[in-house]
Amino acid sequence: MNLINRTGVYLVTAIAVSALTVGCAVDSYERGDDVAVKGQAIINGNVPTAGGLAGWGVVSLGGCTGTILDNWHVLTAHHCVRAYDDSTGVWGALTTGPVIVRYEDGGPQQTAAAAQIFEPATPWSLNAGDYAILALTVPIKVNDSATGYSRAIYASSDSTLANQDVFCVGYGGTVAATSTTFSSGFDTISSATMKITGTGSGVLTRPANSSGQVGFGGDSGSSCFLGSALVGVQSTCSGATWHDVNGNGVVDSWWERSAPTSCSGAAPSQFRTWAATQLAVAVNTNFAYSAALAGGVI
């Protein structure tokens, strides 16, 4: 049963922990390349050895990406937890089924379900307003510890990010579709250095770089980093083309889509203070410890 606070502050979802099926298909993949979609790609990204990117705290949501804020909380895109209908421009119900977080740290994969989901205030929007926090049923251990991990959110003005090279980590495809070949590499963690080119109206934008790396670090909900600080939450991409590779007369899903040419998402100014507020509520009502709050880094 879902308990929804209609002021848009939070909703509580009672869901049980369940095993994640690795490599599951992307559900509800919208065809329009100019709206939010699950399963974006970080085309030509660098795929690490197992655990090689563990220190960044990036997790898979099975079609979306998230970033660990502290051991109990993950930041992702709002459209990853609440459906968006691109044909009507209307936000609908939450994605059905449990939201499972998977973290790869070089050892056995850790999984945790979302016990609570924090949403931004209505009216909801893509890009600048496309963010949410998952509060987990069990903490994710980082460096074998269930306490003490925290990730700072970029604290300077959005404008200071213009033309900055940032380090992006995320899940998604690694090979784009062409007229004769399918996309591949879904749910693969990879990284790339990318440049922020736009910072206005609470939105960060970034075009594909010279190596064709796209998708703001990976699929929807992923982020990039400047130094150790988290920068942005990916929302939408545009400029992709579609290929009927198998010749069945329709575009079946993401594996017949080329790389987009530009991606946008929420800038740090849009969710930095909001995140601190939501974590304070979660810590006071559910959890005994939050390193990010205790350390004053969020």
pLDDT tens per residue across span 17-54: 222 222 222 333 333 333 455 556 666 677 888 889 99
Do 279 and 264 belong to one domain? Answer: no
Residues 164 and 211 occupy one common structural domain:
yes
* Tokens read off for 93: 């119900």
Do 15 and 124 share a domain, yes or no? Answer: yes
Question: pLDDT at residue 16 above 50?
Answer: no
Say if 282 falls within a structural domain. Answer: yes
Within-domain flag for 99 = yes
CATH, residue 96: 2.40.10.10
pLDDT single digits (tens) 237-267: 888 888 999 999 988 877 888 878 888 999 9
CB 100 within 8 A of CB 20: yes
Q: Are residues 121 and 15 in the same domain?
A: yes
Higher pLDDT, 161 or 105: 161
Fill in the amino acid letter for 5. N
Does the residue 24 lie in any domain? no
- Do 255 and 285 lie in one domain? The reply is no
Same domain for 171 and 221, yes or no, is yes
pLDDT of 92 higher than 70: yes
Query: Considering the domain boundaries, does residue 25 fall inside one?
Result: no
pLDDT of the residue at 124: 94
Mean pLDDT, all residues of the chain = 78
| More confident: 58 or 216 | 58
Q: What is the pLDDT of residue 39?
A: 59
Residue 166 and residue 259 share a domain: yes
pLDDT (tens digit per residue) in 199-243: 999 999 988 777 777 664 568 998 899 999 999 999 988 888 889
Residues 201 and 250 in one domain: yes
Whether 28 maps to a domain, the answer reads no
CA torsion sign for 216, 221, 225, 230 is positive
The domain in which residue 116 lies consists of: 2-19+54-149+270-294
92 and 179 part of one domain: no
